[in-house]
C-alpha cells in the first residue's frame, strides 16, 4: 500500500520556480507556463501476520486492543492477526513449514519451535534481544526459549507448578491455612490430618498416560530436591536419569508414591483438568498444578477459600519449581523480520505483558510482575526468581512419554521407585543416543 505525500517545501519551491519562468518566451501572454514535475514522496506500509494459538474468545479480548495501540504507534506496520486453536496447531505449523508459508510472528511451544529450527525454519533472535529486555525477563523464562545456544523464542505465556489448597478444609482438619506445608514431610503430615474429614480427598492427583503432565510434576518436585534444574541445556539431557542423581530421583519418586495413599480413587485415569474440577467443587484439599487453574477457580481464589503457595521444599531446603512456556518465534520465510521484531518487542512491554493475566499466565517480566497486586500472587512472583526452565528439546515428547508411562506404573503400585528409575534411565539413554 502506498501513501502519497506532498511536502510543503516542495510546493514552495515549485511556486518560486514558476514565478521565475519567462512567461513571454516563445509565445504570447496567453501561453501557459510549463511547471516542473514534482516527485512523489512515498512510504511503504508493511503487513505483518500474527498467529496466536489458544482459545479464540479469550485471545480476542487480550490482543485486539493491543494491536490497535500498536498500529497507532507504528502507522507503517499493519497487523493481520489470526487465531489458531490448539487442535489445529500442530498440523497447521507442519503444513506451513513445508511450504515456507509460516506467518511472520507465531506463538507455539518450545519442542515444536526447536524442531523447526533444526529444519532451518526459525530465525535466531539473539541479536534482537537488548540488555534491557534481558534484565526484565525472568531468567528461567528466557532460558526456556533457548536452544543450541540461541534465543529462538521470546516467552509470551508461562506457568509454574504451585500448591493449591482449600483454606476451609485446612481449618476443619485443625490446620492453619496461614501456614501451608513448606517441606515434603509437612505435606504428608497435613494430608494425614486432612484424611480425617469424611468425604474429602486430601491430595488430588493425576496420572493419566499423556506423558507431559505427570513428567512435569516429577521434574518440578525433583528441582526442590536438588535445588537446581532437572535439565542440562548444554547436553540436552535430563539430570534426574544420571547415575550421580539416582538417590535424589528415587527420593522424589518415593514421595509421589507416598502421596497416592491420600489420592482420590482412580487417580491414574485423571488429568489435571479433572483435578481442577474436584478442587472447584471442594472435593479435594490440595492439588499441585499450574497457575492457570485460576481460570477454573477464580471466584474462590478471590474470596480466599482457595489459596496458593510455593511447592514444599525437598532435601535442598529450596522452595522452587520448573517453569514451562509458550512464546513467539519468527520464521526464516518472514519477509520483514525487523518489523516483525518491532511487533514482538511491543508485546513484551509492561502493559502488554500484564494483559496476559486474563489468559492465566504468570508474569514473564519483572516490570509486569509489579502490577500483580493480589495477595495470592506474592509467593508465585517470589518463586519466579528461584525457578528453572522446564527441560525441552526436539526429543522431549519421546522422553516425556517414557517418564509418563513409568510414573503411571509406579503410581499404580506395579513397580518400586528403584525399578521406575532404572527403567527411565535405560529408556532415556536409548533416546539420547
Q: Do the beta carbons of residue 262 and residue 192 sit within 8 Å?
A: yes
Task: Detail the DSSP E strand segments found in 280-381.
Answer: 284-290, 306-309, 322-329
Which DSSP symbol is given to 128?
A: G
The kind and range of the H/E element at 381 are: helix 378-384
Which DSSP symbol is given to 305?
A: S
User: Looking at 250-264, 297-311, 358-372, which range is the least confident one?
Assistant: 358-372
SS3 for 2? strand
17-51 per-position pLDDT tens digit: 333 333 323 234 444 445 455 444 446 899 999 99
Task: Count CA atoms within 13 Å of residue 141 on its CB side.
Answer: 27
What is the per-residue DSSP string for 12-48?
A: HHHHHHHHHS-TTTTS-TTSPPPPPPPPPEEEE-EEE
pTM for the model? 0.82
Q: Do the beta carbons of residue 156 and residue 358 sit within 8 Å?
A: no
91 pLDDT exceeds 90?
no
Q: Do the beta carbons of residue 179 and residue 263 sit within 8 Å?
A: no
The percent of residues in the chain predicted with pLDDT above 70, rounded, is 88
147-174 per-position pLDDT tens digit: 999 999 999 888 888 999 999 999 999 9
- Residue 354's nearest CA partner among 157, 126, 139 is 157
Comma-separated ranges of CATH 3.40.190.10 domains in the chain = 48-158+325-373, 160-323+392-432
Is CATH 3.40.190.10 the classification given to domain 48-158+325-373? yes
CB atoms inside a 10 Å sphere around CB 335: 10
What is the per-residue DSSP string for 379-409?
A: HHHHHHTT-EEPP--TTHHHHHHHHHHHHHH
Our separate counts of H helices and E strands in the chain read 18, 15
What CATH superfamily is the domain 160-323+392-432? Periplasmic binding protein-like II (3.40.190.10)
Amino acid at each position: 500500500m502506498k501513501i502519497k505525500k506532498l511536502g510543503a517545501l516542495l510546493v514552495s519551491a515549485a511556486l518560486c520556480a514558476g514565478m521565475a519562468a519567462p512567461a513571454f518566451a516563445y509565445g504570447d501572454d496567453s501561453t501557459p507556463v510549463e511547471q516542473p514535475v514534482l516527485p512523489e514522496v512515498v512510504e511503504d506500509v508493511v503487513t505483518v501476520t500474527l498467529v496466536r494459538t489458544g482459545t479464540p474468545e479469550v485471545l480476542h479480548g487480550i490482543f485486539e486492543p493491543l494491536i490497535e495501540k500498536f498500529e497507532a504507534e507504528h502507522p507503517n506496520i499493519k497487523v493481520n492477526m489470526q487465531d489458531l486453536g490448539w487442535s489445529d496447531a500442530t498440523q497447521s505449523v507442519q503444513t506451513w513449514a513445508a511450504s515456507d508459508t509460516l506467518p511472520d510472528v507465531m506463538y507455539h511451544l518450545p519442542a515444536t519451535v526447536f524442531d523447526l529450527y533444526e529444519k532451518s525454519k526459525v530465525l535466531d533472535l539473539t541479536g534482537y534481544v537488548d540488555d534491557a529486555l534481558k534484565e526484565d525477563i525472568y531468567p528461567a523464562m528466557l532460558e526456556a526459549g533457548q536452544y543450541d545456544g540461541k534465543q529462538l523464542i521470546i516467552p509470551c505465556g508461562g506457568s509454574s507448578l504451585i500448591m493449591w489448597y482449600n483454606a476451609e478444609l485446612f481449618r476443619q482438619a485443625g490446620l492453619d491455612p496461614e501456614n501451608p506445608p513448606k517441606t515434603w514431610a509437612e505435606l504428608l503430615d497435613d494430608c494425614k490430618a486432612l484424611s480425617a474429614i469424611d468425604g474429602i480427598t486430601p491430595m488430588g492427583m493425576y496420572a493419566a498416560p499423556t506423558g507431559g503432565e505427570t513428567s512435569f510434576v516429577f521434574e518440578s518436585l525433583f528441582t526442590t530436591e536438588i535445588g537446581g534444574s532437572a535439565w542440562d541445556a548444554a547436553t540436552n539431557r535430563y539430570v534426574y536419569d544420571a547415575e550421580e542423581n539416582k538417590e535424589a530421583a528415587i527420593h522424589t519418586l518415593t514421595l509421589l508414591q507416598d502421596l497416592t495413599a491420600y489420592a482420590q480413587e482412580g487417580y491414574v485415569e485423571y488429568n489435571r483438568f479433572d483435578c481442577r474440577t474436584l478442587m472447584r467443587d471442594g472435593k479435594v484439599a490440595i492439588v499441585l498444578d499450574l497457575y492457570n487453574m485460576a481460570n477454573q477457580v477464580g471466584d474462590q481464589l478471590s474470596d480466599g477459600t482457595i489459596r496458593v503457595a510455593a511447592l514444599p521444599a525437598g532435601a535442598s531446603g529450596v522452595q522452587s519449581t520448573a517453569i514451562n512456556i509458550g512464546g513467539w518465534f519468527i520464521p526464516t520465510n518472514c519477509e520483514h523480520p525487523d518489523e516483525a521484531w518491532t511487533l514482538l518487542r511491543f508485546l513484551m512491554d509492561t502493559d502488554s505483558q500484564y494483559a496476559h493475566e486474563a489468559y492465566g499466565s504468570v508474569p514473564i517480566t519483572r516490570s509486569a510482575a509489579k502490577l500483580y497486586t493480589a495477595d495470592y500472587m506474592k509467593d508465585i512472583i517470589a518463586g519466579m526468581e528461584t525457578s528453572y526452565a522446564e527441560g525441552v528439546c526436539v526429543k522431549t515428547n519421546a522422553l516425556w512419554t517414557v517418564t509418563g508411562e513409568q510414573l503411571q506404573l509406579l503410581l499404580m503400585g506395579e513397580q518400586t521407585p528403584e525399578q521406575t528409575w532404572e527403567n527411565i534411565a535405560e529408556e532415556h539413554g536409548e533416546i539420547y543416543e
